[in-house]
Structure 1
Amino acid sequence: MAQMIEADQHYPARYWHMLEDGGLQCDLCPRDCKLHEGQRGACFVRARVDDRMVLTTYGRSSGFCIDPIEKKPLNHFYPGSSVFSFGTAGCNLACKCCQNWDISKSRDTDRLMDQASPEAIARAARRHGCHSVAFTYNDPVVFLEYALDTADACHDRGLKTVAVTAGYIHAAPRREFFARMDAANVDLKAFSEDFYFKFCSGHLQPVLDTLRYIRHETTCWLEITTLLIPGHNDSAGEIAALAKWVATELGVEVPLHFTAFHPDWKMIDVPPTPPATLSMARRIALGEGLLYVYTGNVHDQEGETTRCPSCRQALVVRDWYEILSYELTPQGNCPNCGASIAGVFGKFGRPFGQKRIPVYMRLQS
């Protein structure tokens, strides 16, 4: 906590205030970290230097890749398109089930070997023919300043922006952050306060507040992902309660993804999620009235296919991240019955496919 910060890492951070006792409080997320000089917050990338808050990872990344948009996962936001993806290091939650722990839990900022300005990222995304840029791999909330500047550079060049986030953020920064995002996939870890407290060192309510805000107060397209962990958040009752809350509070049109856990980080003694559990969760959520429910991290063509909620025609057939057939009109309508499909669509060309393409961008500005 008391590690001193390098002089070249003093990028001014937003959302903090000084306390009467001389402490500095970070106001970015509900952790409300209180720092003395030279200390870092729980995320490890926001720190106090010379009585101000700085972001220590601005312009530095754990890597850049071109991904299919379905990998985020977003199934209703320009399906088949490619997205330029990057993250930094650190996280403001401490999930024992983290699948990207080597990035999000890293305290070694020297791992951030790729460097690029917001403008360089936007130029590279455009040069590689990407439709959007995703802030992902670790939670973009903790590198908010870098994400916002990059979002502005992307919008200047006609690119869309995507946030892959746990949604653990205070109201004021939430307004600024999601005003710059065109789409978001929010990781709803579970539907119990007990899980968030024991396994994530956080709380459920701020995430629910973020989901409501995105859905009802912004134009940002929203999808939700829940990683089902055997014995911890995969009971039929909890899944039904989660799906009912989404249907009631957000609307039946919001896509919900149930994805498979694999043993990692601090939960290596927990078995992988059986495919049957994902299928059960999907049936329950559909039974609660949700129109678009998907399975992920497994081969399940039916669970990955987008069907018309009116006539049930298969409109986008997927296998993993690959689109096998696409029948939607550019306006997002079913060609069979004319029903409108919730989402953001456009002219469909050749799908990007399921490949990932690493991009090397060291020292670009």
Structure 2
Amino acid sequence: MDDKIVCGLCPNACSLSEGQTGACRGRKRSGGKIVPINYGCITSAALDPIEKKPLKHFHPGSFILSVGSFGCNLHCPFCQNFEISQSGMELPHQPVTAEALAETAREMADKPPGNLGVAFTYNEPLIGYEFVLDTSKLLKNLGLFSVLVSNGMISEEYWRALLPYIDAANIDLKGWRQEFYDWCGGNLATVKRNIELAAGKIHLEVTTLIIPGKNDSVEDMKEEASWLASLSTEIPLHISRYFPRWRSEIPETPVGKIMELAGTAGEYLKYVYPGNC
């Protein structure tokens, strides 16, 4: 009889038989344990302006080496990077060790235009938890920064263990209702808890992508912004405009709606930024 093993990294808690890959496509049961099959598998890399993450208040005007792998533990129908987030090992990738990535980041820091460190982004970086942790420890020893662009869908014990090695993060707060997270295959309570844990410990910014008819109500934004303000009124909130992608054919968000919600959030938070307008 095959006794399944539960992957405890995120709330999905995939129960896996030997050889089976989790819903995130990045973790697999092999040799009787859960292993990250996307460890060091880089599908995308670029030297990006830090503002592109988006991080408006973390060393503005600087650049950061941004890397992504494959897989995600959500399946948002509107995903902007579905080509890599909804793929697995079949996606072309370049194997890189944590040591090599950290050294590349250091070398780039010494050359124009400079480099802050490494941003783990493009797909969901936390399903490759071990690689992020290993690389972040090395970066800290080199005096460089580790940045996350994440959906925040990670179990609390793992998040707590990682936070001491992370310098900044932009976390997607995708919607203010669990019904919205049901649409994406996620858990709102987990994301909120991880935002709470990060606030005050690292540089934190939050992004909400506004989708017409799904998460665009003024009341929801009031509640979201008020809750963020209860943690700190200085948490920057990025309110971004949606465009149809992947499986979603919902029409693009009107610019006027973004500006309306930005105004609402601005009643509670000091820093609110409309995006993609």
TM-score by length of 1: 0.72
Question: Are positions 1:257 and 2:242 aligned together?
Answer: no
**Cα distance in 1, alignment partners of residues 227 and 220 from structure 2:** 11
Matched, 1:225 2:240: no
Counterpart residue identity of residue 291, structure 1:
K
Q: Which amino acid aligns with 1:206?
A: T
Equivalent position SS for 2:265:
helix
Shift of 1:113: 2.4
Aligned to 1:31: 12
CA displacement at 1:157 relative to structure 2: 1.6
1:154 and 2:139 aligned: yes
CA contact (8 A) 2:119 2:147 kept: yes
CA apart distance, 1:132? 2.3
State the shift of 1:141 in Å: 1.1
Amino acid at match of 1:245: W
Counterpart CA distance in 2 for 1:52 and 1:153 is: 25
| Corresponding residue of 2:199 | 215
Shift, 1:182, TM fit: 0.2
Q: Secondary structure at the match of 1:111?
A: coil
Q: In terms of Rg, which structure is larger?
A: 1
Would you say the 8 A contact 2:11–2:153 is kept in 1? Answer: yes
Partner of 2:226: 244
CA distance in 1, matches of 2:246, 2:79: 6
In the other structure, the counterpart of 2:98 is 118
Q: Match for 2:15: what amino acid?
A: K
Offset of residue 142 of structure 1: 0.2
> Displacement of 1:21 after TM fit?
7.2
Q: Which residue identity lines up with residue 202 of structure 2 in the other structure?
A: C
Instruction: Determine which structure has the larger helix proportion and give its number.
Output: 2
SS in 2 for 1:57: coil
Partner residue, 2:40:
59
- Name the residue aligned to 2:111: none
* 1:1-365 correspondence runs (5 A): 22-107=3-88, 109-128=89-108, 129-197=114-182, 199-216=183-200, 219-248=201-230, 250-267=231-248, 269-287=249-267, 289-298=268-277
- For the 8 Å contact 1:167–1:207, the answer to whether it is kept is yes
Separation in 2, partners of 1:190, 1:179: 27
8 A Cα contact 1:68 1:81, kept in partner: yes
Is contact 2:2-2:17 (8 Å) kept?
A: no
Contact 1:96–1:200, Cα closer than 8 Å, also in 2: yes
Distance 1:56 1:227 in 2: 29
Whether the 8 Å CA contact 2:44–2:122 is kept in 1: the answer is no
**Does structure 2 conserve the Cα–Cα contact (< 8 Å) formed by 1:63 and 1:112?**
no
How many residues align structurally?
272
CA drift of 1:115 comes to: 2.3
2:270 and 2:118 map into 1 onto residues whose CA distance is 27
**CA-atom RMSD in angstroms:** 1.4
Structure 1 unaligned residues grouped into runs of 5+: 1-19, 299-365
Find the residue that maps to 1:137 and give its secondary structure: coil
Alpha-carbon distance in structure 1 between the residues aligned to 2:2 and 2:101: 41
Deviations 1:64-83 (A, max 9, x none): 10000001100010001101
Note if contact 1:60-1:88 (Cα within 8 Å) is conserved in structure 2: yes
Normalising by structure 2, what TM-score? 0.95
Could you tell me how far apart the structure 1 residues matched to 2:192 and 2:2 are?
33
CA distance in 2, matches of 1:74, 1:280: 22
Q: CA deviation at 1:251?
A: 1.4
Amino acid at match of 1:180: Y
* Corresponding letter in the other structure for 2:220: E
Q: Which amino acid aligns with 2:176?
A: F
CA distance in structure 2 between the partners assigned to 1:272 and 1:127 by the alignment = 41
Q: Which amino acid aligns with 2:189?
A: Q
* Structure 2 unmatched ranges of 5 or more: 109-113
Question: For the residues of structure 2 that align with 1:227 and 1:257, how far apart are their CA atoms?
Answer: 8
Match for 1:140: what amino acid? P
Q: Secondary structure at the match of 1:280?
A: helix
Shift of 1:260: 1.0
Matched AA of 1:290: L
